[in-house]
Amino acid sequence: MSMRQRAALLLAAAIWLTACSTAPTPRRLAQDAVTAMGGMENLQSIRTLTMAGGTGTRLRVGQTQKATDAENPAQLKNVAEIADLSNGRASLDYEINLGGFMQHRHEVLTRRGDKPVGIDYVGTRPVIATSPGGLFSWGTQNSPEFLLKRNAVTIALAAAASASDQQPAQDRELNGKMYKYGSGKTKSGEDIGLYFDPQSKLLAGFELLDTETMLGDVQAQYILADYKSVNGITLPHRITIRKGGKDYSDVQYTSIAVNDAEAEKVFAIPDAASAEADQAIAAGDYTPLKLNKVANGVWHAAAYSHHSLIVEFPSWLAIVEAPYTETQTKVLMKLLQQQFPNKPVRYAAVTHHHYDHTGGVRGIAAFGATVLVEKGHEPVLRQILDARHTNPQDELDRRRNAQPAQPTGSMEVFEGKKVISDGGQTLELYAITGNPHVDPKVIAYVPNVRVLFQSDLWSPGPPGAPVAQGSGGPFAEHPLASIRKLNLRIDTMAGGHGGVGPFADFVKGATPPPKATSD
Ligand SMILES: [Zn+2]
């Protein structure tokens, strides 16, 4: 190597070193991002964020006909989300259209004094109060609590305080674009990956571990776009969430208001749910739930939206359907222990793989029950049961990973039909196939008392309410034909939705009306 070559090489090395040492650290980039959003003082003065006029999509709703079908996105509109950063409250209000099933839903995490409580306003059903874990959302997130912990302002402030200031930021890709990347911590100490846009200086996205009720631990990415100025604060108006490498939700908001006085109203606990809110706070784990006797040895566990059936055997119990949330399962198990002391739950039967009907399955397995799953539902149920749930940890994960591990229930797969019999009591499970809602669908029959439990196919109305012929539509026509083929003798129909009613009502609702004749 000549002197000249050596000098050139040294010069290049010096330039490279200088470039390296002046490359900004993640801390510096996070502080720049806060400045680009309007400055530390402005961001810290935000009490409430009201994001309104949202339109977009939500996936991972778990409503496919077959367990292995690819999911179509649900459409979200009129999305209005409020994060009350100063009081730890959040609200998700939206309309969802899921392949023609439309519902206006509104889940609120609020507080009475310093105690958190959930309020659920959905469709036409009465408003109810739950403990926070009892909330189940199909909005941009599974629970309003995520909005509090995962919004751009909270994350940007945490990043500016915690991002590493030792190493320079790296180049890393997010959603097809290159950004400056570094790591930091959320306020509660979670590890977080941060992506900064070198041009705008804004926070382009962040990633961290979310524990989803249905998906378990998933690496979640939050992509922040369409930053616009709102009274001197620059905020993202489009938020795209990916979980476990797949699309989750994607919503474009038309407006964001900061410290809007109207925001307060949404967190008021309505009179109709006020006493129940006190009950929820006092109980710790609470969702509305009552055990109603259907017949000898059979109870309908009526919750506020999704119900179960309890079948009593001489020395243990079986549950059909463990829906919605782990909290609902905990409330049910407590009720059962009071009413049937010394009778553990030995079995929990799954009627289908839809997420709203399986959110309590892990909770039941944690109590040691064997989960009975039809082969057609196995792909989804295995994922649900096998997943880790660490942030926060659920009861099943805690027991499995305790030292030494504590016993938990496992999954037993059956095909077509399963009969459980003990001491004169019998529960029969039948998979019916070809239903347009879900295929297969498990129905549960207790022959001693001629009771049939099914969910989503027919919702028995209040006692004595008239039933119009054919009002059940194709969802109901199909199981009626299947039940006739199985030759089951049924007097009473208990619903995973609705109540308990005479089988004759179902027959009427499931029988197509005579075709109108035209001249
Ligand atoms: Zn369903």
Q: Which residues of the chain have pLDDT under 50?
A: 18-20, 519
Report the 10 Å Cβ neighbour count for 133. Answer: 22
Q: Ligand 1 centroid to 221 CA: how many Å?
A: 28
Q: Would you state the structure tokens that stand for residue 487, as one six-digit string?
A: 């030759």
Q: Ligand 1 centroid to 439 CA: how many Å?
A: 10
β-pairing, 492-495 with 451-454? parallel
Q: Ligand 1 centroid to 355 CA: how many Å?
A: 8
Q: Ligand 1 centroid to 38 CA: how many Å?
A: 46
If we measure between CA atoms, which residue out of 293, 312, 166, 150 comes closest to residue 223? 150
Distance from the first to the final alpha carbon of the chain: 103
CB 147 within 8 A of CB 90: yes
Q: Ligand 1 centroid to 354 CA: how many Å?
A: 5
Q: In this predicted model, what pLDDT tens digit does every residue of 162-180 receive, in sequence order?
A: 999 999 999 999 999 999 9
Q: Ligand 1 centroid to 26 CA: how many Å?
A: 46
How is 185-208 classified by DSSP, letter by letter? E-TT--EEEEEE-TTT-SEEEEEE
For residue 53, CA distances in Å to 78, 90, 147, 312 come to 5, 17, 16, 49
Q: Tell me how far apart the alpha carbons of residues 517 and 519 are, in angstroms, rounded to a whole number.
A: 7
DSSP class of 264:
G
Give this prediction's pTM: 0.92
Task: Indicate left, alpha or beta for 70 from its phi (over 0: left) and psi (-120 to 50: alpha).
Answer: beta
Q: Ligand 1 centroid to 265 CA: how many Å?
A: 34
Helices (H) and strands (E) in the chain, counts: 12, 27
Q: In this predicted model, what pLDDT tens digit does every residue of 467-487 receive, in sequence order?
A: 999 999 888 899 999 999 999
Q: Tell me how far apart the alpha carbons of residues 58 and 470 are, in angstroms, rounded to a whole number.
A: 32
pLDDT of residue 136: 95
Q: Tell me how far apart the alpha carbons of residues 50 and 83 are, in angstroms, rounded to a whole number.
A: 7
Q: Per residue, what are the HEC states of 339-373? A: HCCCCCEEEEECCCCCHHHCCCHHHHHHCCCEEEE
Report the 10 Å Cβ neighbour count for 95. Answer: 16
Q: Ligand 1 centroid to 356 CA: how many Å?
A: 7
Q: Ligand 1 centroid to 357 CA: how many Å?
A: 7
pLDDT of residue 18: 47
Can the peptide bond before residue 440 be classed as cis, meaning omega within 30 degrees of 0?
Answer: yes
Q: Tell me how far apart the alpha carbons of residues 255 and 237 are, in angstroms, rounded to a whole number.
A: 7
pLDDT of residue 6: 67
Counting Cα atoms < 13 Å in the Cβ hemisphere of 7 gives: 3
Q: Ligand 1 centroid to 97 CA: how many Å?
A: 15
Q: Ligand 1 centroid to 105 CA: how many Å?
A: 17
Q: Ligand 1 centroid to 368 CA: how many Å?
A: 25
CB 420 within 8 A of CB 349: no
- 124 — phi, psi (to 5°)? -100, 0
Q: Tell me how far apart the alpha carbons of residues 151 and 161 are, in angstroms, rounded to a whole number.
A: 16
- Residues pairing with 494 in the sheet: 453, 500
Instruction: Report residues near ion ligand 1: CB below 5 Å.
Output: 354, 456
How is 471-503 classified by DSSP, letter by letter? TTHHHHHHHHHHHHHHT---SEEEESSS-EEEH
Q: Would you state the structure tokens that stand for residue 356, as one six-digit string?
A: 């709203």
Q: Ligand 1 centroid to 353 CA: how many Å?
A: 8
Q: Ligand 1 centroid to 441 CA: how many Å?
A: 9
Q: Ligand 1 centroid to 281 CA: how many Å?
A: 30
